[in-house]
Chain A
Amino acid sequence: MESTTENSTMENSPRQSAATVGIDPSIVSMVDAIPSNAPVVPVMRLKDVAVSFNGKVAVRDVTFDVGKNRVTSMIGPSGSGKTTLLRALNRLHDLTKSAVVTGSITLDDVDIYKGGIPTTLLRTRVGMVFQRPNPFPTMSIYDNVASGLRFNGIKKKAFLDDAIEHSLRAAALWDSVESRLKVAAATLSGGEQQRLCIARALAVEPEILLMDEPTSSLDPVSTQHIEDLLTSLKEIVTIVIVTHNMQQAARVSDDCAFLLMGEDRAGELIEFATTEKIFTNPTDKRTLDYIQGRFG
């Protein structure tokens, strides 16, 4: 009974406050009722993080905590450094010689850039799903999901079988591919391929799953499927998602980071708060302008 009351007040209060600051109530209504009582446990902490290429700063001044089993979204217009920041979280910038990441990013209090954790191990703990579905084209559905485990030396078939069924179920794909696991992954539809990539990332049991605009190349129905999936996934994995789509951020995330390109064309963190607060009562005027669609 108590929780029902709480939910209903939560449903109402954002709309009212939104109306007072002039935000489209249809966006606000998408904000999920947040389990407010659960204490937020930070699993990854960013402090003064900046990324630069060839000495040119792409994003800077980023400080926030990623809460365990929550969905954290990063929103902002093009060029605000969302993707650049996301790729710093599992050291994908290591591939680019000119990239320098400063500040500190800690995973369970270990700084991931100061040698506390091998990069390959870090990437099994912090997985990634990309903008476009990228299943390995020479591999079957089964082999795609198994690839991460195999990279890490797991060969036992029984274990792989089990992990693959489990991951595909978690990605809501098992029922449609169960009978054709040995078929090329490229035969799946775009939305299915993206869910396959989610299953592939989940198979190595990461603590955090980074998602870089995972629905931007998908049709609305597939997008809906992925969004539904996120809500159930956060029970097993912490999610950080970059999205161009404000409504999507409002629908799926618990916390929200708003980034914006500064005058020197470097992105910076403007505001980090619960999604509810960002979308109903943001502190910074620029956040409000963005939410109201004044730019971007």
Chain B
Amino acid sequence: MTAVRQPCLSRLGCDQLLNGELPDELAARAHIASCRQCEARLAEHVVERAAFSVPLRRPPTIRRPAPPLAMIAALAAVVVGIFVLRPRLEEGAGTRAKGKPTIGFYVAHAGQVRAGAAGEIVVPGDALEFTASTERAGWLAIVSIDAAKTASVYYPADADAAPVAPGREQVLPLSVILDEVVGAERIYGVFCDRPFPVAEAKDIAIAADGAPLPAGCVVDTLDIEKRSVR
């Protein structure tokens, strides 16, 4: 049998080793013991960690739950927004295929609520409240791909897609506070006629647009533009 020589550790390999994620840790450690370069690199990482003293700032905003009063105020604002702005949202839906399930959203910014439209400009800290319109009962998950190509689940908060009843512009029971990543963001509403894990919705979003969808699933997309200043 021929022994396979363990390659030198990359920076990623060093960090994985220190975080206990390296699959063959014993072989890696044996290599480090016989390789000055890797030994020095690992020592560098250990020193870097010991010297790391930047405090983590507390998050200024979090996703739900909100304090009761703030929740009531926010809900009232959204309800007012829905009644005042519903016609605008319906007009904006004119470009979508008839009968296809769709998602929509409202934006809460500085105490004001407005209906979101394609290409809506938002800023970090804005709250999005989603709506769903469908003629048939099914299951729904909403995910996004931001400018940093990171997929995030916006709805629901559970590991599995949430059931959705037939109806128009049903406000979903979860709001999202937008994070600091600026740039173009695409939001995917994944509707399926069966229960499915939200991880599947993330996979659908990560796949290139136009990729074949699982049977019984339909995707509606919305684009927003997140800027640091509105």
Q: Do A and B come from one complex?
A: no
Residues of A within 8 A of B (CB): none
Residues of B within 8 A of A (CB): none
